Amino acid sequence: MSSMTPAQWVQDELLAGRNTQPALEQASAYAPANIALSKYWGKREKSFNLPITGSLSVSLADHGTQTQLQIIDAPEHQVYLNGELQGADTAFVKKLDTWLGLFMPADTHLRIDTHNTVPTAAGLASSASGFGAMALACNELFGWQLDYTSLSTIARLGSGSASRSLWHGFVKWQAGEADNGHDSVAYVLPERWPKLRVGILTVSSASKAVSSREGMQRTVQTSELFKQWPAQANSDLAIIEQAIMDADFSLLGKTAEHNAMSMHATMIGAWPPLVYWQAESVAAMQQVWTLRQQGVEVYLTMDAGPNLKLLFEEHNTALVKQVFSDLDVIQPFSSAKQNS
Ligand code: ADP
Ligand code: DP6
């Protein structure tokens, strides 16, 4: 346990010597959602969202969150999600309040207008792009001029996977060892893979009953199968990094799919069992495996939700779309989206 609270760490260390009051009246930012190829599943410390292992993701280009902040003269923050005012007692607003309380002067309030281009709380990483966009917008609003790797620590305090949502491209979040998480930072990898495609297969956009946060905690506490997870996660992470460096798609896809299925095995072994899949999810998995048997290289990954993300390369797009006609195909390295 750290002797500091997250708020003390943010104010005394991360932001030491930087503005404590907003420098502008308003600011806005966009952050892409991200899909982990090697997952973050399990924390070594809860209040700082510190992971047991590192993880590696690919960002989803124009699928993400756009957030605008404006200082208002009001007794509390006003939060609009996709144009709808969110009640002060909702988990959505409470989570934002807690995060803003890490550094925001108590008498300063914001109107927050946030738009998700991915469904919210459906296992499509809205928490990642949501807090990624908040971290970037607050950096502007306060004029902190923090580098993105430092900003990834403050995004992480909102949601672990948000640490990976500040960049386009492949992003690695290293686990770190420190109690206050100063070394649990993310950074963008230099490699680009223009032919890589991520297909989002939406089985359901409904909010899930058990959040990722709760699901991972239940798994760590009750799943015997979780004991073998950290070793596999560390090994998968190293293999995926190497596959990216070697542009070895088969190795990348195989390892990402195995990693996701193993994570889901730890969830199924929890008590009460956690099964985020629906019947349609399993049917879609079987279609992916059939396609692969027919020689089309396509792999799947899934997070804490019923939806699938398919990994394939540009030349197989038409064949994959023949089977999954509703597939939303994302080009993570489309030319306009550079790694920053
Ligand atoms: P998901 O699979 O979509 O990431 P989670 O249950 O992990 O689902 O996270 C959903 C939570 O993320 C929401 O309840 C909210 O706290 C947060 N979140 C989602 N979108 C935003 C946003 N645009 N701005 C701030 N927070 C957000
Ligand atoms: C399955 O980042 O949503 O998507 O840190 O508690 O906010 P908190 O959890 P969150 O968990 C993401 C879990 C995952 C895997 C991943 O994105 O690496």
Query: 107-128 pLDDT, tens per residue?
Result: 999 999 999 987 766 667 788 9
- Does residue 193 form part of some domain? no
Shared domain check, 277 and 171: no
Bridge partners (DSSP) listed for residue 196: 313
* Choice from 40, 56, 277 to test ligand 2 binding pocket (greatest atom count within 8 A of CB): 40
For ligand 1, the distance from its centroid to the CA atom of residue 209, given in whole angstroms, is 13
For ligand 1, the distance from its centroid to the CA atom of residue 329, given in whole angstroms, is 22
> Is the pLDDT confidence value at 305 over 80?
yes
Cβ 173 under 6 angstroms from ligand 2? no
Alpha helices (H) in the chain, listed in sequence order = 6-9, 91-100, 126-142, 148-158, 212-222, 229-246, 249-268, 279-293, 317-323
Pairing of strands 299-301, 328-330: unpaired
Tens-digit pLDDT profile for residues 30-79 = 999 999 999 999 999 999 999 999 999 999 999 999 999 999 999 999 99
Q: Report, as an integer, the average pLDDT of 135-139.
A: 98
Residues of the chain above pLDDT 70, percent: 96
For ligand 2, the distance from its centroid to the CA atom of residue 220, given in whole angstroms, is 13
Atom of ligand 2 nearest to the CA of 211: 3
Atom of ligand 2 nearest to the CA of 49: 5
Q: What is the CATH number of the domain that holds 259?
A: 3.30.70.890
Q: Check: CB of residue 261 under 8 Å from CB of residue 289.
A: no
Shared domain check, 166 and 295: no
Q: Check: CB of residue 142 under 8 Å from CB of residue 22.
A: yes
pLDDT at 1 (0 to 100):
63
For ligand 1, the distance from its centroid to the CA atom of residue 177, given in whole angstroms, is 26
Among 17-26, 114-123, 256-265, which stretch is predicted with the lowest mean pLDDT? 114-123
For ligand 1, the distance from its centroid to the CA atom of residue 29, given in whole angstroms, is 16
Among all bound ligands, the one having the nearest atom to the CA of 82 is: 1
Neighbours of 320 (CB within 10 A): 23
Among all bound ligands, the one having the nearest atom to the CA of 120 is: 1
Shared domain check, 308 and 236: yes
Please state, in angstroms and rounded to a whole number, the distance separating the CA atoms of residues 91 and 121. Answer: 12
Atom of ligand 1 nearest to the CA of 127: 12
For ligand 1, the distance from its centroid to the CA atom of residue 139, given in whole angstroms, is 20
Shared domain check, 226 and 99: no
Pairing of strands 186-188, 170-173: antiparallel
Cβ 123 under 6 angstroms from ligand 1? yes
The domain boundary residue, chosen from 131, 155, 188: 188
Q: What is the CATH number of the domain that holds 173?
A: 3.30.230.10
The domain boundary residue, chosen from 169, 188, 207: 188
Domain span including residue 169: 6-188
Among 61-75, 112-126, 184-198, 233-247, which stretch is predicted with the lowest mean pLDDT? 112-126
> Is the pLDDT confidence value at 247 over 60?
yes
Shared domain check, 46 and 99: yes
Q: How far does the chain reach from its first CA to its final CA, in angstroms?
A: 34
Please state whether the peptide bond connecting residue 272 to the residue before it is cis, i.e. omega within 30 degrees of 0: yes
* Choice from 41, 57, 92 to test ligand 1 binding pocket (greatest atom count within 8 A of CB): 92
Q: Which residues of 202-232 are buried (b: 16+ CB within 10 A; e: fewer)?
A: bbeeeebebbbbebbbbbbeebeebeebbeb
Please state, in angstroms and rounded to a whole number, the distance separating the CA atoms of residues 74 and 118. Answer: 30
| CB-side neighbour CA atoms (13 Å) of 25 | 2
Q: Which residue has the higher pLDDT, 20 or 336?
A: 20
pLDDT class of 212 with cuts at 50, 70, 90: very high
- Does residue 339 form part of some domain? no
Question: Which among 29, 30, 38, 35 is positioned nearest to 59, based on CA atoms?
Answer: 35
Specify the 3-state DSSP secondary structure of 61. strand
Chain centroid offset of residue 275 CA:
20
pLDDT at 338 (0 to 100):
53
Shared domain check, 208 and 154: no
Cβ 65 under 6 angstroms from ligand 1? yes
Shared domain check, 239 and 161: no
Shared domain check, 28 and 152: yes
Among all bound ligands, the one having the nearest atom to the CA of 115 is: 1
Domains: count for the chain: 2
